[in-house]
């Protein structure tokens, strides 16, 4: 007689067997090449993460650019830059087009290489030989020249901050031929050749005067140049205060400790002025700040940064979530608090390593969802679900910090789904925020335990939808992509809107890869 324990009738849909192994060698589902590139373009950092080295990620991206058609690579580069606000990956994808389809590169160049930092990234990647060539080539060279010949004085000054290569290196490399006298004088000034100071544009002239005045000990008004150009000069606290007053919102957010170190907050009214700037609703909206950037600034702010300024960062956090849509129905958000989530969210970058960890970002997503959905449940998990009570009325920053303080243990992505099944809970949307490297619940054969638990939940809640947000995107997932399952790589401003659209059933079966494919190649 047949073994009925072994060959029992399967309830519901036949689940697909796992097709890959994750970084912990546990069963997982491989993403298609398009999905892999889409995730890396939108969120990849080309730095060492908990599970992958920078070299591994670079090799993966380059292999994908060779597999996929150039048009999709170009769209992924645009999406990564414009929607993901990424730097390294979009520049790498654009550089790969210089080898595969230079006409397509010309079409999308200005939408990917949209500032001086991106220009220097693009040149460095091409010159490194990573994409199969070490020279720019005639068309890429003309594109770089065009950027240099059309950039404003402020854009050029911003581009002049940084090395490897410096903007001076780029100018010497491509030999732009300016038509305007001011631009010719500025390029000569940049590369250390004789120049006519009277022909320099106004901000650069003011900078030259300021350097002379500073050398003579004469107090002068600080010119509106990038503050990095001033750090070698002996500036007074009042001059640093002027830099803080006239700096951009993002620059002020990033340099609070620098201002504290130079005595800015000791001057009357300056703490209040900086706090007002950081919590200004219009400035926050214009800066397009990501919530995790505010969390990073809050965590990095030292004790010498006044409490009023730190509180302003919390106010800005609430403002940054103003456009986060509420989700209809019964919402459960599950942040991964396992040991691997202690890795920096942007990978290990030496002295430039972010203070924000993956667990901080997972906690932030959970706290933001709770803020906009007061009845939502939060189920932190590691090997099992961790009991924690959060108050939806508390600030996002407070709840995020409470979640991030848990930490430790192995990864079990199926744990919160198993708990919901034990409770026979009624749910409409489940959001898992993890690094997706589940191994505690690994099975030898068949579907992953995450997909098995989800299928059980679906038997009770046939309209339910699952969102898996992978903070450090990899080539696999614990829940295979299908109409009721959305896999999102990383985090950007677009994530909440995408989740809301998916939860409401207004996103098609291709999910966010479809978002990239619909991007127009021609500028609108």
**pLDDT at residue 492 is higher than 70:** no
Among the ranges given (386-390, 401-405, 454-458, 459-463), the one the predictor scored with the smallest mean pLDDT: 401-405
Among the ranges given (8-12, 73-77, 96-100, 191-195), the one the predictor scored with the smallest mean pLDDT: 8-12
The pairing of strands 20-21 and 27-30 is antiparallel
Higher pLDDT, 471 or 439: 439
Q: How confident is the model at residue 348 (pLDDT cuts 50, 70, 90)?
A: very low
Sign of CA dihedral 494, 359, 473, 461: negative
**Tens digit of pLDDT for each residue in 504-519?**
888 765 666 888 888 8
pLDDT of residue 48: 47
Higher pLDDT, 308 or 20: 308
pLDDT of residue 85: 73
| Cα angle 157, 348, 62; round to 5 | 80
Which residues face 357 on adjacent strands?
A: 344
**Confidence (pTM):** 0.80
* Range with the largest mean pLDDT of 238-242, 421-425, 513-517: 421-425
In 3D space, the residue among 439, 486, 489, 355 whose CA is nearest the CA of residue 61 turns out to be: 489
CATH superfamily, region 321-517: von Willebrand factor, type A domain (3.40.50.410)
Q: How confident is the model at residue 35 (pLDDT cuts 50, 70, 90)?
A: confident
**Tens digit of pLDDT for each residue in 135-172?**
898 999 999 999 999 999 999 999 999 888 999 999 99
For the chain, domain boundaries: 32-199, 226-314, 321-517
In 3D space, the residue among 116, 49, 129, 56 whose CA is nearest the CA of residue 87 turns out to be: 116
> What average pLDDT does the segment 99-103 reach?
93
pLDDT of residue 220: 81
Q: How confident is the model at residue 470 (pLDDT cuts 50, 70, 90)?
A: confident
pLDDT of residue 456: 96
CA 352 to mean position of chain CA atoms: 15
Cβ contact 499:376 at 8 Å: no
**Tens digit of pLDDT for each residue in 271-285?**
999 999 999 999 998
How many CB atoms are closer than 10 A to CB 40? 27
Higher pLDDT, 150 or 492: 150
pLDDT of residue 43: 62
The pairing of strands 377-378 and 331-335 is parallel
**pLDDT at residue 333 is higher than 60:** yes
Among the ranges given (58-67, 344-353, 457-466), the one the predictor scored with the smallest mean pLDDT: 344-353
Which residues face 488 on adjacent strands?
A: 469
> What average pLDDT does the segment 441-450 reach?
88
Q: How confident is the model at residue 347 (pLDDT cuts 50, 70, 90)?
A: low
Q: What DSSP letter does each residue of 180-194 carry, written as one string?
A: SHHHHHHHHHHHT--
Among the ranges given (155-164, 240-249, 491-500), the one the predictor scored with the smallest mean pLDDT: 491-500
**CA of 218: how far to CAs of 29, 234, 245, 267, in Å?**
66, 11, 21, 20
The proportion of the chain whose per-residue pLDDT surpasses 90, expressed as a percent, equals 49
Beta strand ranges found along 22-97 (DSSP E): 27-30
**pLDDT at residue 262 is higher than 90:** yes
pLDDT of residue 45: 55
Provide the total of helices (H) and of strands (E) in the chain, helices listed first: 24, 8
Q: Alpha helices of 216-357 — where are they, by DSSP H?
A: 237-246, 249-254, 256-261, 270-278, 281-287, 291-300, 307-320
In 3D space, the residue among 268, 272, 282, 271 whose CA is nearest the CA of residue 320 turns out to be: 282
Q: How far apart are the first and last CA of the chain?
A: 69
């Amino acid at each position: 007689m047949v073994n009925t324990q072994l060959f029992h009738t399967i309830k519901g849909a036949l689940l697909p067997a796992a097709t890959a192994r994750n970084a912990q060698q546990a069963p997982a589902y491989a993403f298609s090449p398009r999905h892999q590139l889409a995730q890396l373009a939108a969120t990849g950092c080309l730095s060492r993460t908990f599970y992958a080295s920078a070299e591994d990620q670079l090799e993966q991206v380059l292999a994908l650019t060779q597999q996929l058609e150039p048009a999709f690579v170009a769209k992924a580069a645009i999406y990564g830059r414009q929607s993901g606000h990424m730097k390294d990956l979009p520049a790498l994808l654009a550089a790969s087009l210089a080898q595969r389809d230079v006409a397509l590169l010309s079409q999308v160049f200005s939408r990917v290489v949209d500032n001086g930092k991106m220009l220097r990234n693009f040149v460095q990647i091409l010159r490194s030989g990573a994409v199969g060539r070490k020279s720019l080539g005639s068309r890429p060279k003309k594109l770089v020249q065009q950027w240099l010949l059309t950039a404003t004085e402020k854009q050029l000054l911003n581009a002049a901050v940084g090395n490897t290569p410096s903007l001076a290196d780029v100018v010497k490399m491509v030999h732009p031929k300016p038509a305007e006298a001011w631009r010719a004088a500025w390029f000569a000034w940049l590369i250390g050749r004789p120049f006519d100071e009277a022909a320099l544009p106004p901000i650069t002239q003011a900078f030259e005067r300021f350097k002379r005045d500073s050398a003579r000990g004469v107090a002068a008004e600080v010119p509106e140049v990038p503050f990095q150009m001033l750090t070698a000069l002996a500036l007074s606290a009042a001059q640093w205060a002027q830099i803080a007053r006239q700096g951009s919102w993002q620059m002020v957010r990033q340099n609070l400790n620098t201002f504290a170190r130079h005595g800015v907050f000791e001057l009357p009214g300056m703490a209040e002025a900086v706090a007002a700037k950081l919590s200004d609703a219009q400035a926050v909206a214009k800066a397009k700040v990501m919530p995790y950037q505010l969390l990073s600034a809050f965590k990095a702010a030292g004790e010498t940064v006044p409490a009023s300024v730190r509180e302003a960062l919390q106010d800005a956090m609430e403002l940054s979530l103003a456009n986060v849509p509420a989700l209809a129905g019964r919402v459960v958000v599950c942040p991964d608090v396992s040991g691997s989530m202690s890795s920096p969210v942007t990978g290990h970058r030496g002295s430039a390593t972010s203070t924000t960890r993956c667990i901080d970002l997972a906690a932030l997503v959970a706290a933001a969802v709770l803020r906009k959905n007061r009845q939502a449940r939060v189920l932190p998990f590691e090997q099992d679900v961790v009991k924690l009570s959060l108050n939806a009325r508390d600030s996002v920053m407070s709840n995020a910090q409470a979640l991030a303080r848990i930490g430790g243990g192995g990864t079990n992505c199926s744990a919160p789904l198993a708990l919901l099944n034990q409770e026979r809970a009624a749910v409409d949307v489940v959001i898992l925020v993890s690094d997706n490297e589940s191994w505690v619940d690994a099975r030898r054969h068949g579907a992953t335990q995450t997909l098995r638990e989800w299928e059980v939940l679906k038997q009770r809640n046939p309209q339910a939808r699952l969102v898996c947000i992978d903070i450090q995107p990899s080539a696999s997932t614990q829940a295979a992509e299908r109409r009721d399952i959305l896999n999102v790589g990383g985090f950007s401003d677009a994530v909440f809107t995408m989740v809301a659209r998916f939860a409401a059933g207004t996103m098609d079966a291709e999910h966010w890869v479809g978002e990239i494919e619909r991007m127009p190649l021609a500028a609108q």
